[in-house]
Every structure is written in C-alpha cells, then in structure tokens.
Amino acid sequence: MLQLTDPFNRNITYLRVSVTDHCNYRCHYCRDEDHVTDTARSEILSYEEIARIVRLFAELGITKVRLTGGEPLLRNDILKLATMLGEIPGIDDIPLSTNAHLLSPIANQLQKAGINRVNISIDSLNQDRFKQITRGGDLDKIIQGIDSAIESGMNPIKLNMVVMRGVNDDEIEAMIDFAIERKIDIRFIETMPIGAAGIDAVDHHYSEAEIVKRIRAHLPDRLITVKSKQTAGPAKSYLINNTETSVGTISAVSNNFCSSCNRVRLTAKGQLILCLGQENSISLRDAIRSNMNDNDIKAMIINAITHKPEKHEFDTDIDNIDSAQMVEIGG
C-alpha cells in the first residue's frame, strides 16, 4: 500500500471530513455574527462521493477519518455515512466531533454504526454564559448528549473547551472536575486567528502556558504524561492520577504542533485543505464530478500533499485563510 508522505517526511494518516458547513450554533470564535451559511445542496458532497474519496485516501494509507461540520448531526441520515465508511478496508477509526445538541436521541445508534468515540464542544458550565458564547445554545441539551454518549459505550469521550480570556477562563478547574466526575477526558484549546472572527480570537487569547499552570495548580503532582499515538490529534495529554480522566491542551498559536502534523481536511464542498492556517487547497469534488478515474484522482491527491506547508503562519499575513469562517473548514 502507498503511504502519503509530505515534503517534511510526515506520514499523512488522518483525514477530517466536514459533512456540512451549516451549524445550529453561532459561537463567536467560529463565525462572524452576521455570517449566513447559504451553501446549495448541489455544492455539497453526497455520501457516495465522500465514501469514494475516503476509499481513495484509505488506499493511500489513511486509517482515521473524523466526521466534523459545521455540526455533522444536522446532516440527514448520518448513520448511513458512518456505516458506509466503516465498510472501507483500512479505515479502523471513525470518531465524531459535535456540539452534542442533537446527540442524545441517536448516540446509541451512532455507536452501533461504528462511531466508537466522540469529541464534544462545551465552553462553559454556566447556562447564561454558554448561551452567550454560542449565541443561543442550550447547555442542558449538551449535557444530555454527553451523558447519552457515556451510556452508549462510546470511548473515549473528549470534551473540547476553547479557553477565552475574560470570557470563560475562570472555568478551567470546574471543567476538569466535571470531566473527572463523568470519567471522560477534557481538552483545553487556544483560540485561533482564522477569518474575521480571528480578531476576536486574538483579543481573548489565553496561552497554553497559562492553561497548563492552572491545570497543575488544580491537580498538584497528579499528572502523568501520555505519549500520543501516530494517528492522534494535536493534543498534549496527561492522565490524572487516581481517575479515569485525561486532561490536555491544543495550542495552535503559542506552541504549534506542526512538526507532527499527520492530517488534512476535506470540506463539505469537497475542497482538500492541506493546512488549517494556509490557503493551499484543491477541489476533489470537481475531480470526481468530471469523471476522472481513481488512479488519476489518487495522483492528484499525492501531488497535492507535496504542497503541504511545513507549518501554519497564524502570526503573519503569509497565505493565511483570512477570508474563511472556521465553520466552513471543519472547525
């Protein structure tokens, strides 16, 4: 089997697939307040098109496919896609990223369809604050979704909290305790300056060093460093001694993880994005709709990977994705 390797000798084994750029929440670090998603259905990859692209990536060494959005559970019959992807040889890990608003009624079905684990966004445990951050979200539904995922047997379940100075940074300790109580994992994420909403992200940036200092103060002498798997995401993780919980950080800005980057992104419109922080992309949707054969499309993917940059440049103006909304690129 071929193995996708970029110019910096990084093996690409992880594909993030956005199934929709619509979302039922409007988190201010993810999209501008006046942003409206008006993507036509014809612009979005069908499940059959997604499955074909994933199969080609699997033949090139991809083993992990994460379903994202927007909010992926807004896409009709997401169970069908999970089943289709689970039948592709070589794909052995199909996690889901969701805000969990719609998770509770179908968590058990998703688990049976092969979604063995889930990442859930939750930025506050305070009802009013949560509603403000998400511009109208329902915290009770999120907690119901988390509990349903636990009951379904999904494992691991990871909570993702975007830490924002002056907004929710005072909840780091409470979020750790919430995760420990439910025997699930927690990740704290730095804001990323992408799109116009990135201005807000810079204003509220709370660094990884500050987050880790708070974690260590809350859990003195209880952290055990975890070595990441090759297909793992960018989190730096620690087990919390005498619990079933791990805590970690994702720092795209202050301490980037580019040297171990093993992933690329497929947007709902079929754009293959090589780096979250830069504009290089190709349209795989146009390729498969132009009746290109599988070998030609795989050659196109292999060539694209040769243009994957060494690192993102969030702190410069060089090729940044400055016009995109995070919700549109699998954020």
pLDDT of residue 255: 60
Interatomic CA distance for residues 40 and 33, integer angstroms: 21
Structure token digits, residue 303? 């060539």
Q: Say if CB 222 and CB 195 are below 8 A apart.
A: no
Cα 310 to Cα 142, 222, 262: the distances in Å are 37, 35, 11
State the DSSP H helix or E strand holding residue 208, giving kind and residue range, or none if neither.
helix 208-218
For 85, phi then psi, to 5°, come to -70, -35
**pLDDT above 50: residue 320:** no
Structure confidence by residue, pLDDT tens digits, 49-88: 999 999 999 999 999 999 999 999 999 999 999 999 999 9
- Amino acid residing at 192: M
State the DSSP H helix or E strand holding residue 65, giving kind and residue range, or none if neither.
strand 64-68
Structure confidence by residue, pLDDT tens digits, 106-127: 999 999 999 999 999 999 999 9
Residue keyed to tokens 């000798």: 9
pTM of the model: 0.90
